[in-house]
Amino acid sequence: EICACLVGSEMCIRDSYEEVGEAIKSCGFYNTKSKDLVECAKILLEKYGGRVPGTMEELTSLPGIGRKTANLILGDIYHQPAYVCDTHCIRICNLLGLASGKEPAKVEQQLRAILPPEESSDFCHRLVDHGRAVCTARTTPYCERCCLRDVCRYAHEEGKAD
């Protein structure tokens, strides 16, 4: 159901918020997200002819689209430089010493200063994978099996670097 909604914006706007909400019920905040999806689909059809826009300004003007989602779209769909600063990226960049702070826009700005634009999207995706598998948030990071421990500020401070 949700695939039809996302693939066919016209179908999504014909559905009620409740119908879309039912299709995405497994997501958190599905009531808000269903309204955003329907409203976003309307705007995409009316303003952009059914196409997803390709600028940060246009994307973040859409309901439910913030910088993180806009960066994902810009990097993955339009292959533009994109610094996706989610919870994993922020946490690991802080542990590595690449950034400081927890505010996504500030971490993004810090990463822009040190990462080549052409590497930005892949770098952020790799950090998410690394954060899920090795440098976990809910447990102590598995420094002993981390390929970054030699350059990691946290590993050095904790005496876990080689």
> Does the active-site annotation cover 162?
no
> Does the active-site annotation cover 150?
no
What does the H/E/C string look like for 105-157?
HHHHHHHHHHCCHHHHHHHHHHHHHHHHHCCCCCCCCCHHHCCCHHHCHHHHH
Candidates 36, 42, 86, 106; catalytic one? 86
Tokens of 145: 């099996």
Candidates 68, 106, 122, 129; catalytic one? 68
Interatomic CA distance for residues 155 and 160, integer angstroms: 5
Q: Which of 55, 57, 88 is nearest to 74 (CA)?
A: 55
User: How many residues are present in the chain?
Assistant: 162
Q: Is 64 left (phi over 0), alpha (psi -120 to 50) or beta?
A: left
Residue 25 DSSP label: T
Catalytic residue annotation = 68, 86
